[in-house]
Amino acid sequence: MTQHDNTHHDERDASELHVPVLLERCLELLAPALERPGAVVVDATLGMGGHTEAMLEAHPALTVIGLDRDTEALALAGRRLERFGDRVIRVHAVYDEIGGAVRDAGFDRIDGVLFDLGVSSLQLDEADRGFAYAQDAPLDMRMDQSRGETAAEVLASAPEGRLRAIFERYGEEPLAARYARAIIAARAEAPIERSGQLVEVLQRATPAAVRDQRHPAKRVFQALRIEVNGELAVLERAIPAALDLIGLGGRAVIMSYQSLEDRLVKRELARRSKSTAPPGLPVELPEHRPEFRLLTRGAELADEAERARNPRAIPVRLRAAERTREVR
pLDDT tens, 49-79?
999 999 999 999 999 999 999 888 899 999 9
pLDDT at residue 266 is higher than 90: yes
What's the pTM?
0.86
The helix (H) or strand (E) run that includes residue 243 is helix 231-245
Confidence of residue 7 (pLDDT cuts 50, 70, 90): very low
Phi, psi dihedral angles at 264 (to 5 degrees): -65, -45
Give the annotated binding-site residues.
Answer: 49-51, 68, 95, 116, 123
pLDDT at 121: 59
CATH number 3.40.605.10 is the correct assignment for the domain at 128-229: no
Q: How far is the CA of 221 from the CAs of 70, 133, 151, 170, 225, in angstroms?
A: 19, 7, 9, 10, 6
User: For residue 11, what pLDDT is reported?
Assistant: 45
- The per-residue DSSP string of 250-315 comes to EEEEEEESSHHHHHHHHHHHHHHTS--PPTT-SS--GGGS-SEEESSSS-B---HHHHHH-GGGTT
Q: What's the rounded Cα separation, in Å, for the pair 179 and 105?
A: 46
Cα separation, 78 vs 48, in Å, equals 8
| Run of H or E residues at 2 | strand 2-3
Specify the fold of 2-116+231-323. Rossmann fold (3.40.50)
Q: Find the range with the poorest average confidence among 103-112, 141-150, 156-165, 241-250.
A: 141-150
- 13 pLDDT exceeds 60? no
C-alpha 285: how far from chain center: 36
pLDDT band of residue 124 (cuts 50, 70, 90) is: low
Say yes or no to pLDDT of 18 above 90.
Answer: no
Average pLDDT over residues 88-95: 96
Query: Do the beta carbons of residue 206 and residue 147 sit within 8 Å?
Result: no
State the virtual CA torsion across 119, 253, 171, 189 in degrees, nearest 10. Answer: 20
Mean pLDDT of 198-219: 92
Pinpoint the residues of the chain covered by CATH 1.10.150.170.
128-229
Q: Is the pLDDT of residue 83 over 80?
A: yes
For residue 107, is pLDDT > 50? yes
User: Residue 8's pLDDT is what?
Assistant: 39
203: pLDDT strictly greater than 60: yes
pLDDT of residue 232: 92
Q: How confident is the model at residue 125 (pLDDT cuts 50, 70, 90)?
A: low
pLDDT at 93 > cutoff 50: yes
Report yes or no: 46 and 52 within 8 Å, Cβ to Cβ. yes
Query: Average of pLDDT values for 95-121?
Result: 92
Q: What is the dihedral of CA 184, 189, 194, 198, to 10 degrees?
A: -40
Query: Can you name the residues that pair with 318 across neighbouring β-strands?
Result: 255, 300
Question: Phi, psi (5° rounding) for residue 194?
Answer: -125, 150
Kindly indicate the confidence band of residue 10, based on its pLDDT and cuts at 50, 70 and 90: very low
Please state the rounded mean pLDDT for residues 277-284. Answer: 83
Question: What pLDDT, in 10s, does the model give residues 305-316?
Answer: 999 998 889 999
Which among 216, 217, 214, 235 has a CA at the least distance from the CA of 226? 235
pLDDT for 297 = 94
Residue 55 pLDDT? 98
Instruction: Name the least confident of 21-25, 121-125, 194-198, 321-325.
Output: 121-125
Annotated binding site for S-adenosyl-L-methionine: 49-51, 68, 95, 116, 123
Indicate the pLDDT class of residue 85, thresholds 50, 70 and 90. Answer: very high
Ranges in the chain annotated CATH 3.40.50.150: 2-116+231-323
Residue of higher predicted confidence among 172 and 123: 172
